[in-house]
Amino acid sequence: DAGVTQSPTHLIKTRGQQVTLRCSPKSGHDTVSWYQQALGQGPQFIFQYYEEEERQRGNFPDRFSGHQFPNYSSELNVNALLLGDSALYLCASSHLLDEQFFGPGTRLTVL
């Protein structure tokens, strides 16, 4: 049973560019959440998708957007990248009220 998978593993972009990160949830899970983890900090909630709609959103600007597909996989898009967007981006999946399972993350570096 594959767990949560994310791609790519690492990514380097320059300021002002746009980036798309991808996540496939654990089998049987229908809810996907995204978190940003800056170096040395705890993860911060970005948003959560369920039934292809954004269900909850954290305190992140509109430059951060997402999408969930019918197969429950998800994308995180970040526009107009800033140096401060450099972080580990974690995807987590869940089903109903069960706990979230995390993927290994995508390390984004903005130069």
Partner 1 sequence: GNSVTQMEGPVTLSEEAFLTINCTYTATGYPSLFWYVQYPGEGLQLLLKATKADDKGSNKGFEATYRKETTSFHLEKGSVQVSDSAVYFCALSDRGGSEKLVFGKGMKLTVNP
User: CB-based contacts of 27: which residues, under 8 Å, 6+ apart?
Assistant: 1, 2
User: Contact 57/47 with Cβ under 8 angstroms?
Assistant: yes
Least Å distance, CB 57 to partner 1, is 9
Polymer length in residues for the chain:
111
| Site for partner 1, rule CB under 8 A | 4, 31, 33, 35, 40-45, 48, 56, 58, 90, 92, 94-105
Least Å distance, CB 97 to partner 1, is 3
Least Å distance, CB 101 to partner 1, is 7
